[in-house]
Chains A and B, each alone.
Chain A
């Protein structure tokens, strides 16, 4: 082996403690990078593959009167249509114990070739018998049922019919049932009729030859026009994006987390740069000697870069195991969240290639600056380096420091701290960056929870009941107020709406077949209302007399192309287009895109004085009270289609974000670990470089204990300073992360919330880590004899 290589190896072995710290820091960061890279790659690919594998409908046209076999055959021959199916979806409820659960019934004819929106049979047989249904595999816990069990499914009259669960299917196009608090059932038209519903395959699902949004819209609109020409009325066109309902959120959030992990890697690279810079500073004379015997700057740089490469490569290899473990673990969790079955865990070639490239290139690039600086030192400067501390000079801060009076130790520690400002700046930057990311992770998590808490607190109602059909407001209110435990009740109107244009053209809806994701509602609440108190983000809330005023939540604003207060807004209900004037916008946690309008303004769509929804405030168990109210309404002939407790909505929101919050916190911890390791490494270098000075101090009478205390005090001051900078820097970073996470999750930036526990934890952690890191080095320095320290090179 070449002597220069031998030297590099032995230097690394001699500094094995610090080398271990550097390897650990990079390995920790690379575990995160690898895990996110693997998870993102697997999830994005598998979600796309699984969703595409169902051959989802490009568009669904709601055709009045249903679609028969002859019409379906004709549709299949329309230009741009490659296949079509006629289906029906019914929203009902199922009795689970003493509670009602939301239930979506997907109705498929026995002779349906099942080429569109395919299901995979997991157990049982298709088609189920008339008194049977199949359930989606994730619906078991929601329905508290398994194959062989019986479900009490509500019919249109509210009466329940027992249906046997004959098996399970896997429907990859749906979000998990638990997340949506909805059971999914699959049955035949005869099975539906047995429940009392009218079987009518009114959903024409078409698959288009081109899957891009414009082509799908054009084909769907053309088919709708053709159907209209055939005398069939098309109420609605739904064309959801050609991807899983949660695909874009997952992709963006895992992408952001990957960016976080790469930032941690850059941080680890800075740590390596700082540590190696310090090690090389201690070897300045050796560099000078090597140059006198013929070493060029390029040769020395290559040797140093070789050392970084060895460290980075060791860490990258070391992190492979944890990265695979965490990556596949995370992809499994996210897959579960998306109801995606991972078919292949194989990684494309570019994943290991990117992993290796990141693990080697980022530390090398970050370390390049201090390494070039060390290698470029002139022989003269290198040979003149005696390691003596002559850094304190005529700068203004130096003069201020020398005037500073205080305890002997604290003054000395403070002055020492300010001696090598470059090193101090690097240490602080390292600690501050790690801390800022740690605190911003905790702050964002706190903001996330606070946003949901606040959003829930702004809903005064404890339960929301959807009626099977509209009923007089007085009847509903009378029934509600007669029930024990109902403190207040407000009937209102909620209609499925479609964005439209000024010229009356109804836009294609982006709603998924589960009728939840991508839904747009028009809600007419009483004005004023005591049931909600949404945060107004622009303009104002509805006022009495707002006959054409509308308030949009953030999702509705986005869906309608970001209109401003004062603009006209056009919405269609059942094919009838209405115009409203936008008077305000609100922030709403949870719930679909909704336009809030006054009851008068929807009178053209529903009979005045009627309502199809009800909000109630209770002073008892909301579930029990809602049940009693439902029984009361039923006894008056007002059937309840669905009852949803506010606490269930909260659970649904939490279920959507739980994994991401957990990942964010894990990444925050990873950042903190890298920051603390960086502090330990740089403090250890600082102490080592002052070894000679400690010898001088011991020679003039300082006891080892005093030196130890002084060094630890200096480390503690660094930790304190670093954590304060981190806390300050964490604020804008939290705003940035909150903006991204909030926009992805709720369509609005998260508010800035500081997590006091996190800030205190970081303060204590960094100060304790600084003290511990310096204590180890200080003990070592204090144990050396005066002769050893003075001869230290």
Chain B
């Protein structure tokens, strides 16, 4: 579902270039929950941004859900992203003036994937799936951090994308809530999604299927995690 082949990414800095990623090869299958770990500055978020088409690789190829992301023109990236990828952020990034349900309906609206009259029932269904259906008509500020992150996950699932990308999704949550969110990701992976999560968390056993460790922009380790 996700193929990263010989990817490099360098950022221009005064006096030359800073190599954020070099020769990275990663593959993630459907139904697999993969964690990308590493220290700060190891290139985790850069890799996630490349997978989401937020950034472009300097070299190499990135294939996501059958699309050569590195070749998609800028003007078509947003529409592709809305359908193929669900993104989850550390600080939830829900739109503050929309209710939770409306936040979930937003990707359906932009991508036109679901008929207008079907959007709210589907949003409520997704919120029920992540366990916060009763908060559907509240604005994000009225929810706890964990509830907001669940709402963000429901939004990421709105267009039923095959790939879920999560950037430090538990970084702003207490350990109990973080555990619940990781469980939710695992369930999504086992339901057929390819889930890629960038995280600082070290102890992910019991949740993820694979763990890719990045060190200074290179893959230092890529191992299956036993449960």
Listed in ascending order, the chain A residues whose CB lies under 8 Å from chain B are 2-4, 6-7, 10-11, 14, 285-286, 289-297, 299, 378-380, 383, 793
Contacts and interface: CB of A to CB of B under 8 A. Distances in A.
Contacts of B75: 296-297
A11 B96 CA distance: 10
A292 B54 contact: yes
B105 interface: yes
A392 to B, nearest CB: 18
Nearest to B49: A380
B31 interface: no
Contacts of A297: 75, 78
Interface stretch (B20-28, B79-87, B125-133, B168-176): B79-87
Interface in B43-102: 49, 52, 54-55, 74-75, 78-79, 81-83, 87, 89, 93, 95-98, 102
Contact of A299 (B55, B110, B159): B110
A294 B111 contact: yes
Nearest to B106: A3
Contacts of A299: 110
Contacts of A383: 54
Contacts of B160: none
A352 B96 CA distance: 39
B46 to A, nearest CB: 10
B158 interface: yes
Given A14-B97, A289-B93, A292-B54, A6 B102 contact: yes
Contacts of B223: none
12 contacts: A3-B102, A4-B110, A11-B97, A285-B93, A286-B96, A293-B81, A293-B82, A294-B107, A294-B110, A296-B78, A296-B110, A379-B52
A138 to B, nearest CB: 62
A74 B156 CA distance: 95
B54 A290 contact: no
B116 interface: yes
A292 B166 CA distance: 12
A295 B82 CA distance: 7
A3 B105 contact: yes
Contacts of A14: 97
B155 interface: yes
B97 A7 contact: yes
A108 B98 CA distance: 80
Contacts of B222: none
B81 A292 contact: yes
Nearest to A12: B97
Given A3-B103, A14-B97, A295-B78, 6 more contacts: A286-B96, A291-B78, A294-B81, A299-B110, A380-B55, A793-B96
B159 A294 contact: yes
Contact of A293 (B55, B102, B110, B116): B110
A473 B78 CA distance: 95
Nearest to B96: A793
Given A4-B110, A379-B54, A793-B96, A294 B102 contact: no
B109 interface: yes
Q: Which 3 A-B pairs have the closest CB atoms?
A: A294-B82, A10-B97, A293-B107
A6 B100 CA distance: 13
Q: Which of B83, B96, B110 has the most CB of A within 10 A?
A: B110
A289 B97 CA distance: 13
B158 A293 contact: yes
A296 B73 CA distance: 12
A10 B106 CA distance: 14
Contacts of A292: 52, 54, 81, 87
Contacts of A380: 49, 54-55
Contacts of A378: 54, 74
Contacts of B81: 291-294
B49 A293 contact: no
A6 B78 contact: no
Nearest to A293: B107
A292 B159 CA distance: 12
A212 to B, nearest CB: 57
Contacts of B78: 291, 294-297, 379
Contacts of A295: 78, 82, 110
B79 A296 contact: yes
Nearest to B87: A292
B112 to A, nearest CB: 9
A285 B89 CA distance: 12
A378 B54 CA distance: 8
A169 to B, nearest CB: 68
Contacts of B55: 380
A655 to B, nearest CB: 58
B167 to A, nearest CB: 10
A317 to B, nearest CB: 25
A383 B55 CA distance: 12
A791 to B, nearest CB: 10
Contact of A290 (B83, B105, B110, B116): B110
Given A4-B109, A4-B110, A290 B95 contact: yes
Given A292-B81, A296-B78, A383-B54, A10 B98 contact: yes
A2 B116 CA distance: 8
A208 to B, nearest CB: 66
Nearest to A298: B75
A388 B79 CA distance: 30
Given A6-B98, A285-B93, A793-B96, A290 B106 contact: yes
Contacts of A285: 93
Contacts of A4: 106, 109-110
A2 B111 CA distance: 12
Contact of A7 (B74, B95, B158): B95
Nearest to A294: B82
B14 to A, nearest CB: 11
Contacts of B97: 7, 10-11, 14
